[in-house]
Amino acid sequence: MAQIVELLASPVHRFEGRPSDGPAPAPGGELVDAVRVRAGLGVVGDRFFGQEAHRDASVTVIAREWLPDGAGLAQVRRNVLVEGIPVDDLVGSVLTLDSGDGPVRLRVRRPAHPCAWMDVSIRPGAWRELRGHGGVRCVPLDDGVLRVGPVSFSVSADD
């Protein structure tokens, strides 16, 4: 059964400068049990919410199946960690998630490529391991709420 494993809404960038400098400290409360999503804007409270440069990629989703053991959203800096959904195969489609508060449609625009920070935040070699499986960048098409726990999902063609 598919599920949302973790949710992240972080108001700050942690990967700035060079990976050798290490990430900035994580703010408290960035891993949450629920997030509010706004159509065209992203995850409320997230660093990319409503930013013009990120309008076509304001929500990021990654599959747990590809993460090394012990890694989660705090390390990869995506918004939604799912299990049982092949998100990397969905570019060009619409992914609908419903965790109990109604459907939230996400237009899957492009891959979310991993960066060299993965070798620092997860472990050496993680950047290479995650190539092709770094998740996807999406545009939310609906306002709604996503929660940690079981989730129903469907995939449709992008209109």
Per residue in 107-153, pLDDT (tens digit) is: 999 998 787 766 777 778 877 887 888 889 999 999 999 999 999 99
Angle at 109 between CA 105 and CA 111, to 5 degrees: 120
As a dihedral over the C-alpha atoms of residue 97, residue 99, residue 101, residue 104, rounded to 10 degrees, the angle is -10
Give residue-wise pLDDT tens across range 67-118. Answer: 888 888 787 778 999 999 999 999 999 999 999 999 999 999 999 878 776 6
Report the pLDDT value the prediction gives residue 34, as an integer from 0 to 100: 97
Report the pLDDT value the prediction gives residue 71, as an integer from 0 to 100: 85
E strands, 15-135, where?
A: 31-32, 34-38, 42-43, 59-63, 80-83, 93-98, 104-111
CB 63 within 8 A of CB 135: yes
- Give the residue with greater pLDDT, 41 vs 55: 41
Give the residue carrying structure tokens 């998630």.
Answer: 97
